Homo-oligomer: A and B are copies of this chain.
Amino acid sequence: MATTDDDRRPKYQRIADTLREAIQSGHYGPGDRLPGENDLMTTYGVARMTARQALSVLRDEGVAEARKGAGVFVRDFRPIRRRGIERLARDQWGTGRSIWSADIENRALEVDRITVTEEKAPARINAVLGLTADETTCVRRRRFVLDGKPVLLATSYLPMPLVTGSAVTREDTGPGGTYARLAELGYEPAHFREEIRSRMPSRDEAEQLSMSAGTPVILICRTAFTDTGHPVELNEMTLDAASYVLEYDFDATPKTTLAND
């Protein structure tokens, strides 16, 4: 806080910087309580509004979170680990530990708010599934909840002609789920493409996922293809980024060698 550049910054920013550094250095660990407004007023000789602004900077960044009546705490990142590719278990090739610890590895989440409808899909979905604007899809919507906290919204689109009359169109798809039914119908998924991006949530997404301020969502768009390259399902997932770490394990290829440097 001694440089000329920093002296020009508003006081609440400089207090936020100091607290952030104390978090990054480990002085305050995950789950620790940060100094409250009264503490900051005394320590820095500032007004309550300034102290409040400093704490709100850290909340907006997602570094800290307020707990009602208890204060502001360093956010703990203990995410669900979602493995995109199950085939290569990490323990096959070594003991290297993961950088982000995780309590839960692909643990079964509770599913709620399941709906199954027949709908014309948005144009972006039709383009991937190779459907015309007149064709319909079977749309399966559901929400995944862990310990009472919603963490994931998923909406699957399947071309209606492929699944008409099958259990895919019912809430309970039966043993093995949608993919087992697709296999019985002659459309077994053989390849997957997962596309990932991140942005801030819409108001509706933030509500459905009970999200804290300063937290983005991760979007995964997963397309399932048959072995002949025919797209049979598109699943749009919206994840609370504070709840997830995604993992992809794979083998090196000649091209990989060049990609990293």
Name A's B-contacting residues (CB within 8 A): 17, 20, 60-62, 77, 79, 84-88, 90, 92-100, 106, 124-125, 127-130, 156, 173, 176-180, 183, 188-203, 214-218, 221-225, 227-231, 234-236, 241-242, 244-253, 255-261
Contact A97 B176 (CB under 8 A): no
Q: With A and B bound together, what is the CA distance between A140 and B203 in angstroms?
A: 40
Contacts A128-B99, A192-B250, A202-B61 given; indicate if A86 touches B256 (C-beta within 8 A). yes
Contact B260 A235 (CB under 8 A): yes
Q: With A and B bound together, what is the CA distance between A244 and B196 in angstroms?
A: 9
Contact A200 B176 (CB under 8 A): no
Contact A248 B85 (CB under 8 A): yes
Cross-chain contact of A216 among B85, B100, B199, B227 (Cβ < 8 A): B199
Cross-chain contact of A249 among B176, B191, B200, B218 (Cβ < 8 A): B191
Contact A258 B176 (CB under 8 A): yes
Provide the residues of chain B in CB contact with A87, threshold 8 Å.
Answer: 250-251, 253, 255
Contact A62 B199 (CB under 8 A): yes
Cross-chain contact of A128 among B84, B98, B250, B259 (Cβ < 8 A): B98
Q: At the interface, is chain A mostly helix, strand, loop or mixed? A: mixed
Provide the residues of chain B in CB contact with A246, threshold 8 Å.
Answer: 195-197
Find the residue from A94, A191, A261 having the highest chain B CB count within 10 A.
A261
Provide the residues of chain B in CB contact with A222, threshold 8 Å.
Answer: 260
Nearest CB on B from A121, distance (A): 11
Contact A251 B190 (CB under 8 A): yes
Contacts A193-B90, A193-B249, A221-B100 given; indicate if A198 touches B256 (C-beta within 8 A). no
Provide the residues of chain B in CB contact with A191, threshold 8 Å.
Answer: 88, 93-94, 249-252
Contact B128 A96 (CB under 8 A): yes
Closest to A189 in B: B252
Contact A203 B17 (CB under 8 A): yes
Cross-chain contact of A258 among B20, B177, B216 (Cβ < 8 A): B177
Contact A256 B192 (CB under 8 A): yes
Find the residue from A92, A177, A178, A246 having the highest chain B CB count within 10 A.
A246
Contacts A94-B225, A127-B97, A190-B252 given; indicate if A257 touches B177 (C-beta within 8 A). yes
Cross-chain contact of A248 among B84, B97, B199, B257 (Cβ < 8 A): B84
Contacts A124-B99, A200-B62, A249-B191 given; indicate if A178 touches B260 (C-beta within 8 A). yes
Contact B245 A202 (CB under 8 A): no
